Structure 1
Amino acid sequence: MMKSLSARIFSGLFAGLILGTLVQYLLSDVAFFSATLVDIAAAVGTMFVNMIMMLVGPMVFISIVCGVCELQDLRSFGRLGGKTFGFYIINTLVGISAALAVVLLLRPGEGVEMSSHASAVIHATELPDLTALIVDIVPRNPIGAFTSGNMLQIIFMALLLGGVMKSMGNSVASAVAGFQTANRIMMKLITLVMQLAPIGVFALMFKLGATLQASVFVSVLQYLVLIIGLLLLWVFVVYPAAVGLFTPVSARTFREKTQEQIMFSFSTASSNATIPVTMRTLTDKLGVNQAIAGFGVPLGATMNMGGVAIYITVAIFFIANAFGMPITTEQLPTVLLSIFLLAVGAGGVPGGGMVMIGVLIHQMGLPVEAFALVAALDRLIDMILTSCNVVGDTAVLTIVDQTEKAHHNGALMSDV
């Protein structure tokens, strides 16, 4: 059944893109096709994504509470949390380092003469305040955390509640059973909504094909190829190789198990919207422990942004070179720290990387015209970098799960 759903999502993706492209280039003079039909597709695609986003907050909260309650002891929770967080940070740093090495070697944008006609304006803003980000994790209004979709706040509340319930033991067994029942209901709802995925994916890709202008790619082909090439390398080579190296799952098996996840994230361009698919990929296909998936997936959708890190690094160096303002050696440490903070703070929503690049463009004093270039190409890049982000989540958590199994096996051996 899952394989059939993957095939239908794949078919919807390409059918929508092809038909949308035909509308743009062959039927653009017919108002019904160029406007009305595109608007209908946009509405259907938006409704589908909203339907998933509606379920994400409650699903994450319930799943984490259940995951913490199912842990053997709270000490394993502390170890698991620290390990997952550390692996995510390492993953982001590796992405930045690899992208930096490539841009310093190839120097994209050098010799490119960008015209100075601005089509977008960047408003003054500031780099993320790390202290404020940490303080904001604790919500003043728990309902507000759900209505705003603040994943860090939702995770905090779920961890707090799950930890308290676990510490109370059998006296709250009925409450634990209630959350487990709620978790099964949420999984059933997600399965139901996922049956609509081929239609939602078709609508999203139809709109993209009908509105994307091919002419904007001509002068920046090197930039586009470089980013897409790096992201695809990470999705199909680096992450599978890492899983194959550190777990019993082979690189080939990992690629096969993540096909549906890649197709879905490619069409929605949202790590948060892909959370249900990522959870199912980990637990049902790769056999990862429910507690690890329940804790790690929403955290990864919020802060494990290896794809965004690559995107921001390549984009800012290309723009700086193309506009004749190359980044100097003295500027490099500050720029790299900014890229790291921005990548972590990008959030799992469509266009998050573009917004963060806009922040960095303003912070570095680059021409505002540069943002027009980023905005023009972002939708295509965003789809691929989202796939990179979510496959990165899956790879990291598969490795974390293996280290936890090794730890438990070692503990059992020492007890014998």
Structure 2
Amino acid sequence: MKKSLSHKIFIGLVSGLILGSIIQYMLAGIPIFDEYLVGTASAVGTMFVSLIKLMVVPLVFVSIVAGICELDSTSQLGRLGGKISGLYFANTVLAVVVAMVIAYILQPGSGANLGEAGAGASALTEQGLPNVGQMIVNIIPDNPIAAFASGDMLQIIFMAIVVAIAIKSLGDYAKPAQSGFAMANDIMMRLITMVMNLAPYGVFALMINLGATLEMDSIISVAGYVAIVVSILFAWILIVYPLAVWMFTGIKPSVFRAKTREQVLFSLSTASSNATIPVTTRTLVEKFGVSKALAGFGVPLGATINMSGAAIYIAVAAVFATNAYGVTLSPAELITIGATVCFMSVGVGGVPGGAVVMIAVLIQQFGLPIEALAIVAAVDRINDMVCTSANVVGDAAVVTIVAGSEGELDHDHAKDINATSKPVQETA
């Protein structure tokens, strides 16, 4: 029987991790394995992620412009934007509250002996606490070329919305432009499919490098902390999101989990919300029957502002840091940290390791022991992988719910667990 792409990705993920672990613990010191093979795997994995990221900026810009142009009116844009943004924010707030309560009850880090901080820990604290007002001001770019070059998603989304509104305002005169962006969007989707066929091999290479470099001693010393973070994140992925989608759309939790499996596996290997944008878009359009217009608008927005996974990770890490060094937080201080995390998570960015920088900022701003950052950074790779999966599956859940409320979801296609590849519903 022919294996699905998600099965191939899973095989690549597991086999790569096993091979990498064997190299680290059984073949260490043999140059052909721990230098050449791991080095080659690292290079191949980096090239694969770069190939995905290559498409992210044009995909975001083109898909948002094409999506808005397909909407009936600009008032529909405001309604969709309000619904999607509201659900993303509500999701983040709920995630922070649950994470803080669980962390307060279980007290991760209590009695831990972390030792001295690594040399690189203090360097992470050079970043300042994100200024929400300045972040809003910076949404409008003064140099569009620089925005595209740096991959600033908020600025790119703003430019795409402005361009799309201008095209819509020209009416029938701008039909050729609308058709051009629609065709460009189709081309980007085709490119995504082509690149995704390479995903099993790229994931295999990434996992070899991960397995060969992960320091198990560091992980074991804070196993409880890691278990709490990962457990809450997986609860969000496997329980909260599927139940929410079922309540609002009627799609069974088992079907939702099955159709987002590819998303989860890909995001686990890349640890990047931005790199997973093409996969999330493809999942929504082809597997759930969400209109290209809504998916093209909602997914890039979610990769920028829907950071519920990062919020859970940062909240638990903050409590862990205080407990590890015997610092007691009052309920008021916990609430302050929780509120700060809600805003900070938006500034994480869809790139690997972004949460660690924010954790460092939080530790510094609240006078927590900076030494705790050493161990947080040491196990970041595990937490960040699952954190990214929670982010991207949240994007899929929110967009699916909004699509159902807007009549832009093919319910029969979405509820059919076997309907996983046929593109449906081309327009809004």
TM-score between the two structures when normalised by the length of structure 2: 0.92
Aligned-pair distance for 1:117?
A: 4.6
Specify whether residues 401 and 348 from structure 1 end up closer, same or farther in structure 2 by C-alpha distance, changes over 3 A only: same
Is 2:304 the partner of 1:302?
yes
Paired residue type of 1:293: A
1:268 is aligned to: 270
1:388 is aligned to: 390
Paired residue type of 2:164: G
- Name the SS of the counterpart of 1:272 in structure 2: coil
Task: State the distance in 2 between where 1:243 and 1:121 align.
Answer: 40
1:40 is aligned to: 40
Task: State the distance in 2 between where 1:334 and 1:141 align.
Answer: 36
Structure 1: which 5+ residue stretches go unaligned?
A: 408-416
1:57 is aligned to: 57
Task: State the distance in 2 between where 1:273 and 1:39 align.
Answer: 22
Task: State the distance in 2 between where 1:241 and 1:4 align.
Answer: 25
Paired residue type of 1:142: P
2:162 is aligned to: 160
1:317 is aligned to: 319
Specify whether residues 358 and 365 from structure 1 end up closer, same or farther in structure 2 by C-alpha distance, changes over 3 A only: same
Paired residue type of 2:324: A
Paired residue type of 1:120: G
CA contact (8 A) 1:312 1:357 kept: yes
Residues 315-366 of structure 1 deviation map (CA, whole Å, 9 limit, x = unaligned): 1101101111122234233212221111111111101111111111111222
Specify whether residues 378 and 15 from structure 1 end up closer, same or farther in structure 2 by C-alpha distance, changes over 3 A only: same
The more displaced of 225-234 and 365-374 is: 365-374
* RMSD of equivalent CA atoms: 1.6
2:193 is aligned to: 191
Specify whether residues 381 and 225 from structure 1 end up closer, same or farther in structure 2 by C-alpha distance, changes over 3 A only: same
What is the aligned counterpart of 2:249 among 233, 247, 250?
247
% same residue:
52
Task: State the distance in 2 between where 1:218 and 1:69 align.
Answer: 52
Aligned-pair distance for 1:406?
A: 9.1
Matches within 5 A, 1:100-179: 100-122=100-122, 123-179=125-181
Aligned-pair distance for 1:211?
A: 0.6
Is 2:93 the partner of 1:93?
yes
The more displaced of 241-250 and 121-130 is: 121-130
2:23 is aligned to: 23
CA contact (8 A) 1:17 1:208 kept: yes
- Name the SS of the counterpart of 2:4 in structure 1: helix
Task: State the distance in 2 between where 1:270 and 1:406 align.
Answer: 28
Aligned-pair distance for 1:219?
A: 2.0
Task: State the distance in 2 between where 1:239 and 1:207 align.
Answer: 31
Aligned-pair distance for 1:62?
A: 0.7
1:414 is aligned to: none
CA contact (8 A) 2:317 2:359 kept: yes
CA contact (8 A) 1:20 1:205 kept: yes
CA contact (8 A) 1:353 1:382 kept: yes
CA contact (8 A) 1:120 1:368 kept: no
Specify whether residues 261 and 406 from structure 1 end up closer, same or farther in structure 2 by C-alpha distance, changes over 3 A only: closer
Specify whether residues 362 and 2 from structure 1 end up closer, same or farther in structure 2 by C-alpha distance, changes over 3 A only: farther
CA contact (8 A) 1:124 1:362 kept: no
Specify whether residues 118 and 55 from structure 1 end up closer, same or farther in structure 2 by C-alpha distance, changes over 3 A only: closer
Task: State the distance in 1 between where 2:245 and 2:357 align.
Answer: 31
Aligned-pair distance for 1:126?
A: 2.2
CA contact (8 A) 2:291 2:408 kept: no
Aligned-pair distance for 1:47?
A: 0.8
CA contact (8 A) 2:189 2:282 kept: no
CA contact (8 A) 1:125 1:363 kept: no
CA contact (8 A) 2:16 2:211 kept: yes
Task: State the distance in 1 between where 2:135 and 2:362 align.
Answer: 18
Task: State the distance in 1 between where 2:369 and 2:316 align.
Answer: 17
CA contact (8 A) 1:120 1:371 kept: no
Matches within 5 A, 1:321-360: 321-360=323-362
Residues 5-44 of structure 1 deviation map (CA, whole Å, 9 limit, x = unaligned): 1111111111110000010011102022112221111111
1:228 is aligned to: 230
- Name the SS of the counterpart of 1:271 in structure 2: coil
Task: State the distance in 2 between where 1:304 and 1:287 align.
Answer: 22
Specify whether residues 136 and 117 from structure 1 end up closer, same or farther in structure 2 by C-alpha distance, changes over 3 A only: closer
Specify whether residues 400 and 2 from structure 1 end up closer, same or farther in structure 2 by C-alpha distance, changes over 3 A only: farther
Specify whether residues 51 and 273 from structure 1 end up closer, same or farther in structure 2 by C-alpha distance, changes over 3 A only: same
Matches within 5 A, 1:365-380: 365-380=367-382
Specify whether residues 406 and 376 from structure 1 end up closer, same or farther in structure 2 by C-alpha distance, changes over 3 A only: closer
Task: State the distance in 2 between where 1:101 and 1:2 align.
Answer: 45
Paired residue type of 1:177: S
Paired residue type of 2:54: M
Specify whether residues 300 and 3 from structure 1 end up closer, same or farther in structure 2 by C-alpha distance, changes over 3 A only: farther
Specify whether residues 144 and 19 from structure 1 end up closer, same or farther in structure 2 by C-alpha distance, changes over 3 A only: same
Deviating above 4 A after TM superposition, structure 1's stretches of 4 or more consecutive aligned residues are: none
Task: State the distance in 2 between where 1:362 and 1:285 align.
Answer: 44
Task: State the distance in 1 between where 2:345 and 2:156 align.
Answer: 20
CA contact (8 A) 1:120 1:369 kept: no
TM-score between the two structures when normalised by the length of structure 1: 0.95
Aligned-pair distance for 1:229?
A: 0.7
1:281 is aligned to: 283
Task: State the distance in 2 between where 1:245 and 1:117 align.
Answer: 46
- Name the SS of the counterpart of 1:236 in structure 2: helix
Aligned-pair distance for 1:303?
A: 1.1
CA contact (8 A) 1:258 1:391 kept: yes
1:13 is aligned to: 13
1:413 is aligned to: none
Residues 55-96 of structure 1 deviation map (CA, whole Å, 9 limit, x = unaligned): 110011111111011001111111101111111000000000
Task: State the distance in 2 between where 1:325 and 1:3 align.
Answer: 51
Q: Work out the number of aligned pairs and report it.
A: 407
Specify whether residues 222 and 60 from structure 1 end up closer, same or farther in structure 2 by C-alpha distance, changes over 3 A only: same
Residues 93-146 of structure 1 deviation map (CA, whole Å, 9 limit, x = unaligned): 000011011012212222333323544332343211011100111111111111
